[in-house]
């Protein structure tokens, strides 16, 4: 979401929520999002959760530069790619799920790490395969301009790197990431440069 805001050149005030301290579960944050999930976006018109809904809203209210390609076909592909991250990876590896696996399912550290890596790798495999099958030679995931697909991909790859996954095993994803991380908006949004392999 910060990358989308930066690509749009929008000023915003970031309010960090300390997930590790459970701040997202406290009453004060629940008045913002009853679900206790991040991120939430708010302006004079709306208070909105769900990253993809926020990005689409930003794109409709601030059309330049577009975060969705021009044709229905390419928009469909961009949304499909974004949903591969936002529906197939992120929900399964988020903090609330990892906590439930620990507290309710009583999985030990190794089993939880196995879960996390399994769904992350499944997702990265699917994304790499998607780019391979597309084989369109575009600069970014779906076109020659960064889109909602890239905005979702780059933070997911940052998570993967922090988890010790060798992103270079996914050469097409890594190539798109490198191009994104050279863009001022991605730098301004704090999309981390590749960490040294651990």
Least distance from a copy of itself to the Cβ atom of residue 140, Å: 17
Span of 3-11, 90-98, 163-171, 178-186 interacting with a copy of itself by CB under 8 A: 90-98
Our finding on whether 25 is near a copy of itself (CB under 8 A) is: no
Burial group, residue 128, by CB count within 10 angstroms (0-12, 13-18, 19+): middle
Least distance from a copy of itself to the Cβ atom of residue 190, Å: 23
Our finding on whether 121 is near a copy of itself (CB under 8 A) is: no
Position of tokens 């939880």?
A: 112
Q: Measuring CA to CA, how many Å separate 16 from each of 20, 24, 70?
A: 12, 10, 34
How far apart CA 159 and CA 177 sit, in angstroms, is 13
Span of 15-23, 84-92, 178-186, 189-197 interacting with a copy of itself by CB under 8 A: 84-92
Our finding on whether 115 is near a copy of itself (CB under 8 A) is: yes
Span of 20-28, 75-83, 156-164, 187-195 interacting with a copy of itself by CB under 8 A: 75-83
DSSP H helices in 62-192: 72-86, 90-93, 95-103, 109-134, 148-162, 171-181, 184-188
Select 19 or 107, whichever has its Cβ closest to a copy of itself: 107
* Contact with a copy of itself (CB under 8 A) among 15, 95, 105, 182: 105
* Contact with a copy of itself (CB under 8 A) among 16, 27, 104, 135: 104
SS3 49: strand
Q: If we measure between CA atoms, which residue out of 178, 190, 122 comes closest to residue 146? A: 178
């Amino acid at each position: 979401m910060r990358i989308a805001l930066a690509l749009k050149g929008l000023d915003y005030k970031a309010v960090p929520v300390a997930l590790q301290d459970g701040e997202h579960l406290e009453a004060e944050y629940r008045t913002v999002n009853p679900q206790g999930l991040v991120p939430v976006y708010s302006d004079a018109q709306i208070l909105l959760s769900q990253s993809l809904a926020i990005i689409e809203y930003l794109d409709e209210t601030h059309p330049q530069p577009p975060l969705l390609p021009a044709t229905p076909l390419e928009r469909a592909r961009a949304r499909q790619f974004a949903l591969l991250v936002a529906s197939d990876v992120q929900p399964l590896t988020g903090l609330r799920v990892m906590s439930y696996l620990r507290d309710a399912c009583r999985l030990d550290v190794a089993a939880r790490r196995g879960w996390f890596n399994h769904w992350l790798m499944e997702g990265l495999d699917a994304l790499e395969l998607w780019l391979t099958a597309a084989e369109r030679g575009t600069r970014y995931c779906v076109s020659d301009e960064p889109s909602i697909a890239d905005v979702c991909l780059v933070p997911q790859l940052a998570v993967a790197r922090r988890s010790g996954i060798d992103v270079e095993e996914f050469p097409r994803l890594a190539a798109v990431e490198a191009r994104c991380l050279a863009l001022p908006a991605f730098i301004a949004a704090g999309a981390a440069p590749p960490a040294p392999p651990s």
